[in-house]
Each structure stands twice: as structure tokens, then as C-alpha cells.
Structure 1
Amino acid sequence: MEDRLLAERILDQIADAVVYANRSGEIVRWNRTSTSIFGFSAEEALGRSLDLIIPEHLRASHWSGFNAAMTTGATKLQGRPTLTRALHKSGRKLYVEMTFAIVKVDEGEVLGSVAVARDVTERVERERSAVRTT
């Protein structure tokens, strides 16, 4: 099987969302699980700003970090997962655990950023409700 076709099949069959954005923050790759988690089809997401899935109150800090990463070629989290909020198409806020990586060409030029996300809303809400009842 051709490497490119295999890579596409892998991306579309893994259980985590994979969202790739170019240096401008425009969504270029959106796998099937991204649709499941965030509610937007690939057709609705591709070519749109990452603001599509970022709650308004987090956008300023997101863009500050994103622009710094595009300039320096490194993320502050260095691949460590972080718990954050995201938006579903319905307007509902989700808890997602995300990891980020900078995508570069061999010469080190930054092409964009990839995020891998997992919906952990149920777990976080269950943990928070357990804390409130103890």
C-alpha cells in the first residue's frame, strides 16, 4: 500500500481527533474523529480558523501561544498533554485533553501545528461531581 494512502487510513481510523493548521491557523487536516468530537464535518472545518473549536474566552491566549510557536518553532508544553476547553458545533463546551506539535520541513521551516485531542468531558464532570459530593 502506498505510504500516503496508509497515512490517510491511519489518521481516519484512530480514536483521537487530529487537527492540522497552517501557520495562519487555518484548518488544513481534519480526521473523522475530529468530526465525532467537535461536530463539524470536514467540509465545514477545512479552510476555517481554529476559532471554530476554541471558546471565545480562550482565543486571546491561544493565539498568543500559537503565534509564538509559529515564530520559535517550539511549543511551551513540549508535547505534554494539557486539559483545556473546546467548542462543539452545538455550542456545548467540551473538556479535551490535547497534545500539540509543530510541523516543520527538514530545513526547520515551520509549516504549521498539529493537535491531537481526546474528549474527556465525561471523566472530568464525573471527577468534579465526586469532589462536590464528598
Structure 2
Amino acid sequence: MDPTTAAVLLEQSPDAVIFAGIDGLITVWNPAAQRVFGFAPAEAIGQRLDIIVPEQFRSAHWTGYDRALEAGKTKYEGQALTTRANNKAGETIYVDLGFSIVLGADGKATGAMATARDCTERFNRDREMRRELRELKESAKA
């Protein structure tokens, strides 16, 4: 695939595409990432992933990030993981994330790529349905 086609695919992806190097600094932030997280590329590129990782998860995030880079793979590869993230407005959102460790020609990790899709509405709707089901079960026991 020629670089122009790859750039168009990245630009037009319906999902956020983010790449951060081994230092955790963002170097790729596509238009969908701006739609999901609110940060313009100029605001996100060069920043640490901490801009979207909630503070209470950062320690675990960086431990897992470093472990995955060292191993050259992530235990979540090929899976979507629903998790909390922060947007530019400081709100907590829920996103379905996919992860991949990117390897260079030498087989060593150069960083991590993630795809993200905002699933906040679905997550909240599912949570409300679980709450209602729990209440129905409790009232049926009474």
C-alpha cells in the first residue's frame, strides 16, 4: 500500500487511531480521535497518553504499557476492552479500545497503537438495564 492510501485510511477511519512511542508520547492522532476525545491534533501530539487516561488508572496503565512493549505484544490484542477515559472537557467517557504493539523492522517495539470508539451511551444504557433487572429480581423475592 502506498503512503498516500495509508494516510487517507487513517484520516477517514471511523474510529479514533492513536499511536504513542515507547516514551508514551502521542505521535499519531487522527480526526476521529479529536471527535472522541475533544483534543485537536496540535493539542494531543507530543503529549503523554495521560491526557486521556484517568488519574486513578495511570499507574496500572503505565505498568501494563511498559510490560507490553517489553514483551512485544499485549494480552488484549484482538480484543475490544471497554474502559473509562477522559475527554478535553474533563468528563469521564467510556470507550471500546483495541490495542496493538507496533514492531519495527528489527522486531523491537516502537510503540503502541490504539483504536477507540465512544460507547458512553451504550454503557450507560446497559448499566441502567442491569440496575432495573436487579431491582425487579429483588422485588420478585419480596
Report the TM range for the smaller structure's normalisation.
over 0.9
| Correspondence for 1:31 | 30
Q: For structure 1, which runs of at least 5 residues remain unmatched after alignment?
A: none
Distance 1:7 1:78 in 2: 21
Residue 6 of structure 1: how far off its partner (Å):
1.1
| Correspondence for 2:89 | 90
Correspondence list, 1:49-128, <5 A: 49-128=48-127
Residue 81 of structure 1: how far off its partner (Å):
1.1
Residue 22 of structure 1: how far off its partner (Å):
0.3
Residue 23 of structure 1: how far off its partner (Å):
0.4
Residue 12 of structure 1: how far off its partner (Å):
1.1
1:52-106 Cα shifts (integer Å, max 9, x gaps): 1000011011000000011111112122111111100001101101110011112
One-letter code of the match for 2:21? N
Find the residue that maps to 1:102 and give its secondary structure.
strand
One-letter code of the match for 1:43? A
| Correspondence for 2:138 | none
One-letter code of the match for 2:3? R
Find the residue that maps to 1:18 and give its secondary structure.
strand
Residue 43 of structure 1: how far off its partner (Å):
0.1
Distance 2:115 2:52 in 1: 13
One-letter code of the match for 2:2? D
Distance 1:52 1:100 in 2: 17
Distance 1:106 1:22 in 2: 15
- Aligned-residue sequence identity (percent) comes to 41
* TM-score, reference length from structure 2: 0.90
Q: For structure 2, which runs of at least 5 residues remain unmatched after alignment?
A: 134-142
Distance 2:92 2:28 in 1: 22
Find the residue that maps to 1:127 and give its secondary structure.
helix
One-letter code of the match for 1:42? P
Distance 2:110 2:102 in 1: 6
Segments of 4+ moved more than 6 angstroms: none
The alignment's C-alpha RMSD in Å is 1.1
| Correspondence for 2:46 | 47
